[in-house]
Amino acid sequence: HSADAHRTDLMTITRFVLNEQSKHPESRGDFSILLSHIVLGCKFVCTAVNKAGLAKLLGLAGETNVQGEDQKKLDVLSNEVFIKALVSSGRTCILVSEEDEEATFVEPAKRGKYCVVFDPLDGSSNIDCGVSIGTIFGIYMIKDGHEPTLDDVLQPGKNMLAAGYCMYGSSCTLVLSTGSGVNGFTLDPSLGEFILTHPDIKIPKKGKIYSVNEGNAKNWDGPTTKYVQNCKYPTDGSSPKSLRYIGSMVADVHRTLLYGGIFLYPADKKSPNGKLRVLYEVFPMSFLMEQAGGQSFTGKQRALDLVPKKIHERAPIFLGSYDDVEEIKKLYATEEQK
């Protein structure tokens, strides 16, 4: 009968978040309301992405439709959906999106105490070939009751209250941390609810997979070159690691979180700060990794200690299993001492 209890005792993400809220009696539920609006955005994007292929056939999203109107590209559409959902929640005051050059300052009447940084559809260049893509988000509390400024959002990642991603692939999976562990939820389209399917995710302490774009190898620095060399030709008698690189951050990070291993987007001669964006790619994924028992390193410091100066700033990133990231930290430390 325990199986039956499991089937009828559905732990939806809404119920899960309310359970978390009940741990903070002083809470007025603003955070739960904010999260429910983010979840709504993810559900919308999930349906839009799933129809993308079909829509292409029917000349809808991203193409000119039968009326000859230019349909919005999916990432533009997704961005509008999240901006509207977040503003309408009445709990946000500054929004930073990968799609918008400038931050959005919510009008006073609708202003709340949270700042949300997000990439509405990361990896969207992969839509046409059906590779999994995703939404990545992080949530800060504004610093204090003054008029909101960019300083409220240019905070180190360690100040985030929550972070997560929603991966649009064979299923729609939302992975979330509100600061006490990591939990994964899968959308049941028949219910329109995210159900808890991956309770208390912990990343394996060490993995057998490394994930990097080897096409950039010519431009890597010494420690990264040495690390990848060790993955392929281990000198300690262990077997070589497998290379898995999807080229869509949410998919590569999700596999790393569940299977273990390391994901790298290093600096290189062409891009000294790497490619991935601090606020809405590096910080949320680093937050999740630490909450799951892994770690995240920029080549110079703990990723979550970074203090961004600009909202679209980039940083190199090495994240994943604790022991694997420890290896690359040692190589960079040795480099430092030279």
In the complex, which residues of this chain contact ligand P6P (CB under 6 A)? 122-123, 125, 213, 247-249, 252, 275
Nearer Cβ to ligand P6P (16/165):
165
Write the Ramachandran bin of 201: left for phi over 0, alpha for psi from -120 to 50, otherwise beta.
Answer: beta
Residue 72, both tokens: 């919005």
Nearer Cβ to ligand P6P (125/238):
125
For residues 174 and 164, the answer to whether their CB atoms sit within 8 Å is yes
Nearer Cβ to ligand P6P (123/284):
123
Smallest distance, Å, CB 332 to ligand P6P?
21
Smallest distance, Å, CB 331 to ligand P6P?
21
Residues in the chain: 338
Cα–Cα distance for residue pair 151/37, rounded to 1 Å: 24
Smallest distance, Å, CB 223 to ligand P6P?
19
Nearer Cβ to ligand P6P (85/319):
319
Smallest distance, Å, CB 186 to ligand P6P?
21
Tell whether the torsion through CA atoms of 46, 62, 277 and 95 is positive or negative.
negative
Q: Which strands form 183-188's sheet, in the order they lie side by side?
A: 104-105, 92-97, 111-122, 133-141, 162-168, 172-177, 183-188, 193-198
Smallest distance, Å, CB 249 to ligand P6P?
3
Cα–Cα distance for residue pair 112/20, rounded to 1 Å: 20
Nearer Cβ to ligand P6P (31/283):
283
* Planar angle of CA 136, 142, 148, nearest 5 degrees: 110
DSSP string of 61-90, one letter each residue: TTSB-TT--BPPPHHHHHHHHHHHHHHHTT
Nearer Cβ to ligand P6P (16/287):
287
Tokens 């990723």 found at: 303
Nearer Cβ to ligand P6P (13/282):
282
Residue type, 327: E
Nearest to 281 by CA among 157, 169, 186: 157
Nearer Cβ to ligand P6P (22/213):
213
For residues 49 and 20, the answer to whether their CB atoms sit within 8 Å is no
Cα–Cα distance for residue pair 24/56, rounded to 1 Å: 46
Smallest distance, Å, CB 52 to ligand P6P?
16
Q: How far is CA 184 from CA 23, 45, 181, 187, 296, in A?
A: 20, 18, 10, 10, 20
Smallest distance, Å, CB 264 to ligand P6P?
10
Nearer Cβ to ligand P6P (170/190):
170
Smallest distance, Å, CB 247 to ligand P6P?
5
Smallest distance, Å, CB 112 to ligand P6P?
29
